[in-house]
A and B are shown apart, each in its own frame.
Chain A
Amino acid sequence: MLEFFIGHYAYWLVIILLCVGIYGILFKKNLIKKTIGLAVLQISVVIYWVAIASKEGATVTTLDPNIPVDQVANYLNPLTHTLMLTAIVVGVATLGVAFTLLMAIYNRYETLDEQELLDKIQ
């Protein structure tokens, strides 16, 4: 039972973080808060990918001459780390685009509240 908990608690924390992000996206009325929820959801996915790359007793993905590279279990999985490395930077850039669009919306309609925005559009 304890082994099951140690093997799975990271997934539960990631799921809680994902639900916090979905709560922000669905239930908040302000568009800025929705965008922050989107960022939290994205970070939860990043943490999940980094969590599944771990191995028991392995070292970081930089080659150490004393540790043989033939046994794969000696090193963490570098593929997921690489994918998330690019995903973080692209996430920052897309967050910049999201806030840019919010600024454009505010310049035009002078509100960021969802309901007021729908009323002004119609």
Chain B
Amino acid sequence: MRSKFDSPIVLLGSRLLAPYIMLFGWYVIIHGHYSPGGGFQGGALLAASVLLIRISGGRVISRLQIQEFATTPLAIVGVVLYFGTGLVAMIMGGNFLDYAYLPIPGMEADWLRYTGMLIIEVGIGLAVMAILIMIYDNMVKGEDHA
């Protein structure tokens, strides 16, 4: 994104909107058990809030929010969170991704499945957010002079 002009109004509007979009993204992830939502949609919303700052503010300002090199570790954290949940369930004696065997004391099998789903939704959300930001960053790399 080569910025031909500096518009403080666009930047101010994006800065006003971005935190609320990010908060709504986390709401969609966490509240996905009770309403339409979940990891994929919430991750797309989180990525939208970051990309809004990247498009309107340029490279220097958007670096303050999420660094470019931080997206690959975030995606790995998301995938490993998902895989680790399944692996822990498998080590504890169940099948792969059978949440009823998660080692959380004081919970019945159905509430354990509830908790396991919440964990993997957060993993999916982190991975989707990081991947969408990574695709954008790699595409505009070298042409971002703003």
Contacts and interface: CB of A to CB of B under 8 A. Distances in A.
9 closest Cβ contacts across the A-B interface? A96-B135, A89-B40, A85-B40, A89-B128, A93-B131, A62-B35, A103-B139, A86-B40, A62-B36
Contact of A89 (B34, B36, B44, B135): B44
A61 to B, nearest CB: 8
Interface string A43-77: 00000000000000000101000000000000000
Interface in B10-25: none
Contact of B36 (A60, A93, A96, A99): A60
Interface residues of B, number: 14
Contacts of B41: 85
- Interface magnitude class on chain A: 10 to 19
Contacts of A30: none
Contact of A93 (B34, B38, B135, B138): B135
B40 A100 contact: no
Given A60-B36, A85-B40, 14 more contacts: A62-B34, A62-B35, A62-B36, A85-B38, A85-B41, A86-B40, A92-B44, A92-B132, A93-B131, A93-B135, A96-B132, A96-B135, A96-B139, A100-B138
Contacts of A86: 40
Interface in A84-101: 85-86, 88-89, 92-93, 96, 99-100
Interface of B: 34-36, 38, 40-41, 43-44, 128, 131-132, 135, 138-139
Nearest to B136: A96
A71 B91 CA distance: 38
Contacts of A62: 34-36
Nearest to A85: B40
